[in-house]
Structure 1
Amino acid sequence: MIGIDTAAAAESPPALARRRARLRERSPDGSWLDAMLARVNAVAVLLVAVDLVALTVAARTLALSLEWTVVVGAVLVGARASGRLYRRRLWLSWLHDLPRSVSATAIAFGLVTLVILVSGHGDGTGSPAQWAVLLFALVDEPARICVFTFGRWARRRLGRCDRSIVVGAGKVGIDLAGSMLAHPEFGLRPVGFIDPEPVRDPVSLPVDLLEDDLAHAIKRLRVGTVVLAFSHARDSPVVAAAVTAHRHGCTTLVVPRMYELYQDGPDIDRLRSYPLVRLRTAPTSRPSWWIKRGMDVVLASVALVALSPVIALCALAVLLESGRPMFFQQTRVGMDDRTFVLYKLRSVRPGKEDDSQTKWSMEGDARVGPVGRFLRRTSLDELPQLWNIVRGDMSFVGPRPERPGFVRKFSAIHELYWARHRVPTGLTGLAQVHGLRGDTSIADRSRYDNYYIANWSLWLDAKILFLTVGELLRRVRP
């Protein structure tokens, strides 16, 4: 085997067979507690704890008032959190983290000095609050050394490692798995490879090539981390694997191209000599997503009540133009491919057959009357979807929902169209504010939707809503 950085390569075949058997025995049947503890960022929790203890020691020693203790604490924790000192990490090195920690403390010192000057509580020299920041650093840094030392020990001796799958069983993938096994202090334990065209079976490692696909392997083996290495397969599964790992809440680490030239950075972690790009977690797993959901419910409920007279007038106009039914119900595909009933004001005159599930809506459809055209141009026909938002079927912002037949068709034709269903669908979206409405490119829509998911933030949602309002004003302008 080429270039495997592990003592496992020196094991005899019987010893390797025994280790493979133990791995297979433990993989499906470990306790839920082990799986949960492996996912808990214990080092980050301890780093926060020692920072709070150091702050308390500094405040008590210098007899800071409660108000100044809160100010100093908020500034210190905020600066250190912004400096990503509480991040999840593979490499537990105090020396590697020291420049980042010193910079965060220096920024906190400057901010505390600014607060002192602005509040008029001193001339900015020799204040107890400033001394508290310095004393905090003197107490905190030795404690951080202990945390990193304990973290490495726990990973080596207690097996507190994240169960990991390596996608790509080439030389790089096999080297990575070997390093994980030989150096458990990095916190990863490989349980399998996924590769449709492996270079060779990694017989020198107690890690098997898995026959099931990545989604099933993640569930079956309770995997917490997916490492994306290089594959020799013509159709490399790396992008699809990253999306799958996202959908299952796994940490995703990527070996970048030209990794030999990669420098350390905010999103770069290291496993021995390999730089690994840590992808952001899935939007739905972040605390800010609950803020988005709460705002959806509140705003949709208020809008539904406030706009109920408008919806009633539009429904009356539909009734006068083409009779009943005034509202339109259609099955659409939402998050995780679950279907739901979408509500709209009817804009198309009812025909003899209901072909709405299979017929694409085209500009200039003869079945659309003056009322229907007005409703479509102003998007008033979409207002009943506020109820879908309240129910949780949709969000204000997200990929637009599509019908099941078209989802199957587009998923077979357009790459990663299926990946847009890893977040709830929306009343408006990034594709729509870029002019992709109606009979427009599905490939472009898919790219915009996946870009939105990869870059989601509350600010991006707000920006899309502002752009939507501007677009609606342009469309209703005579």
Structure 2
Amino acid sequence: MTELRDAIVGATLPLPRRGRPAARRRNPARPRPLLARVNAVAVLLAAVDGGAWLTAVLRTGPGPVCAAVTAVALAGVRVGGRVHRRRLWLSWLQDLPRSVTTAALAFALVTGAGLVSGMDSASTAAMQEVILLAAVLSEGVRPLVFAFGRWARRRLRRCDRAVVVGSGLLGGDLVRTMLEHPEFGLLPVGFAPSGDAAAPAGLPVERIDGDLTEAIARLGAGTVVLAPAGDRDAAIVDAAIGAHRLGCVTLVLPHLFELCPDGPGVDRLRSYPLVWLGGAPTRRPAWWVKRAVETTLAAAALLLLAPLIACCAVAVALESGFPVVFRQVRVGMDGRTFLLYKLRSVRPSAVDDSQTRWSVAGDSRVGPVGRFLRRSSLDELPQLWNVVRGDMCLVGPRPERPVFVEEFSAVHDLYWARHRVPTGLTGLAQVHGLRGDTSIADRARYDNYYIANWSLWLDAKIIILTVGELLCRRQR
């Protein structure tokens, strides 16, 4: 298991782990192209909905405004309800409650829109008729799409190539289930055993004992199925991160899978429930929205706060001389280093130990101005320039110095995994009081939680909490 774990992580992040040599090669594998990740059944389901809406509009003739309202309502609730999602289990009856619920919600939305906007009853009725007719037409065709998808998977082998990582007997049974039931859309091409259980012999797939990331790319796998062997199977966690970085779909078999109910994010491979893990945040369209918004906000903040930064710089110069801006090497996304800018809060000394000395409260080199800058976080305002440059984000795991990254990665589980996303000016750990000389293990857990649950709303919430933390700290 240790060899598999080292191979996975060594091929994904250039940061040291426990018991692992610091020097390692970079990952030669490239993420899967976008077209390779397009799911035909999902596209057909979306096309059926579009065709059903168009037919209903042509049949009822509600007018351009009413037609646009119905299009927005239907598209919004169907996409939000994940009716066109990628899935393993192609069952119309299983999906029918979700589909009917989204149609009912679209009906309610157009009804409410008609009442709020003051439309006449005829226009509102026309929109309602479009929604009802489109729902009936769509449900009439969706069973055929599911049947066609199952047929294509069985007869044409239109399946996604999959690698199974997990304990011996359980992982082997997953491989055999995929081979015997191709209608679930997974074609196993590799098996990487983990845990202490012996791997079953005679599986008609390649056994992977080395670099998992390289094997995934070489085998052209688009899905990685994880079957944990125990309560804390580190190789499984590392495999999930490696799969994310290659843009693969990641499915996890829960420990108590016999008791796992169906629900959002849970799919089925015969009797096995598989939980879909969210993809890497940096691969989502919303991440580009985050980047655009944060760059704009950082640039605007630099302009607005320039007088305040100048005043702080003058105070630093009067207390301890020049330079007033402190530059320090920090580790960012994928282990790449960059220069971080801060207002200097520590008096200069004959020996520069800033890269290896941990900052603690009560440092005698910090004067009154420096203490005020640190307490108010004004010393970090120049990092807005790092955000504009693209070195950092406004929200993300806080960057650390290379020597401490190496030290913490060797001691704390998954500290290295924080570097899957760009670092930030503030983060989830910081708004929970983890600043300065506080628990590194807690910081790593908060940062990895942030990455796993990232959303634009989570970023907005962290910014709001940061403002509150700054205001409350100034009053203490």
Tell whether the structures are fold-level matches, with TM greater than 0.5: yes
CA contact (8 A) 2:32 2:222 kept: no
Aligned to 1:428: 426
> Given the alignment, which residue of 447, 451, 460 partners 2:445?
447
1:85 aligns with 83
| Match of residue 16 from structure 2 | none
Q: Secondary structure at the match of 2:204?
A: coil
Separation in structure 2 between the aligned mates of residue 100 and residue 190 of structure 1, nearest angstrom: 30
Paired residue secondary structure (1:190): strand
Deviations 1:193-215 (A, max 9, x none): 22244634433321122122333
The one of 375, 378, 382 aligned to 2:376: 378
Which digits, 9 at most, give the CA deviation of each residue in 1:395-424, with x for residues without a partner? 001110001110110011111111111111
Partner residue, 1:217: 215
One of 121, 136, 140 as aligned partner of 2:119: 121
Q: Is the 8 A contact 1:201 1:209 kept in 2?
A: no
1:408 equivalenced with 2:406 (yes/no): yes
Partner residue of 2:10?
none
Whether 1:365 and 2:363 are equivalent positions in the alignment is yes
Looking at structure 2, the residues matched to 471 and 239 of structure 1 have their Cα atoms a distance apart, in angstroms, of 33
Q: Spell out the pairing of 1:333-372 with structure 2 (5 A cutoff).
A: 333-372=331-370
User: 86-95 or 118-127: which moved more?
Assistant: 118-127
Kept after mapping to 2: 8 A contact 1:199/1:232: no
**d(CA) in 1 for partners of 2:184 and 2:282?**
27
1:265 counterpart = 2:263 = yes
Matched, 1:302 2:296: no
Q: Distance in 2 between matches of 1:407 and 1:103?
A: 49
Trace 1:192-211 onto structure 2 (pairs within 5 A). 192-197=190-195, 199-211=197-209
Q: Could you tell me how far 1:94 is from its partner in structure 2?
A: 1.5
Q: 1:110 aligns with which of 95, 101, 108?
A: 108
The equivalent position to 2:74 in structure 1, one of 76, 89, 113, is 76
Where 1:110 maps in the other structure, the secondary structure is helix
Once residues 179 and 410 of structure 1 are traced to their aligned partners in structure 2, the CA distance between those partners, rounded to angstroms, is: 41
For 2:249 and 2:242, the matched residues in 1 are separated by 11
For each residue in 1:134-165, what CA deviation from the matched residue of structure 2 results, as whole angstroms up to 9, or x when unmatched? 21122212222232223223333443322221
Query: Displacement of 1:74 after TM fit?
Result: 1.2
Q: In the aligned structure 2, how far is the partner of 1:100 from the partner of 1:475?
A: 47
SS at match of 1:408: helix
1:181 equivalent in alignment to 2:179 = yes
What residue identity is the alignment partner of 1:299? Answer: L
Change (3 A) 1:274 1:196: closer
Give the match for residue 242 of structure 1: 240
Secondary structure at the counterpart of residue 183 of structure 2: helix
Cα deviation, 1:284-308, whole Å, max 9, x if unaligned, reads 1111111110011100111111112
Q: Is the 8 A contact 1:170 1:230 kept in 2?
A: no
Aligned to 2:23: none
Q: TM-score scaled by structure 2?
A: 0.89
Q: Secondary structure at the match of 1:347?
A: coil
Q: Percent identity between the aligned chains?
A: 63
SS of aligned partner of 1:368? coil
Deviations 1:73-102 (A, max 9, x none): 111122222221011111112221112111
For the 8 Å contact 2:32–2:246, the answer to whether it is kept is no
Q: Distance in 2 between matches of 1:120 and 1:462?
A: 35
Aligned 8 A contact 2:332 2:338 in 1: yes
Q: 2:395 aligns with which of 369, 394, 397?
A: 397
* Alignment equivalent of 2:189, drawn from 170, 191, 194: 191
> 1:408/1:319 Cα in 2 relative to 1: closer, same or farther (>3 Å)?
same
Equivalent residues of 2:31, 2:245 under 8 A apart = no
| Distance in 2 separating the partners of 1:103 and 1:41 | 23
Hey, what's the Cα distance between the residues in 2 that align with 1:217 and 1:459? 36
Q: In 2, distance between residues paired with 1:37 and 1:123? A: 45
In the aligned structure 1, how far is the partner of 2:453 from the partner of 2:199? 37
Q: Residue type matched to 2:295 in 1?
A: V
Q: Provide the residue aligned with 1:44 in structure 2.
A: 42
Partner of 1:127, secondary structure, is helix
Task: Provide the rounded CA distance (Å) in 2 between the counterparts of 1:448 and 1:36.
Answer: 31
**Contact 1:196 1:233 (C-alpha < 8 Å) held by counterparts:** no
- Which 5+ residue runs of structure 1 have no aligned equivalent? 1-31
- Given residue 186 of structure 1, which amino acid in structure 2 is its aligned partner? F
List alignment gaps of at least 5 residues for structure 2. Answer: 1-29
SS of the aligned residue for 1:342 comes to strand
TM-score by length of 1: 0.88
- The answer to whether 1:67 aligns with 2:54 is no
> Shift of residue 37 of structure 1?
4.4
RMSD: 2.2
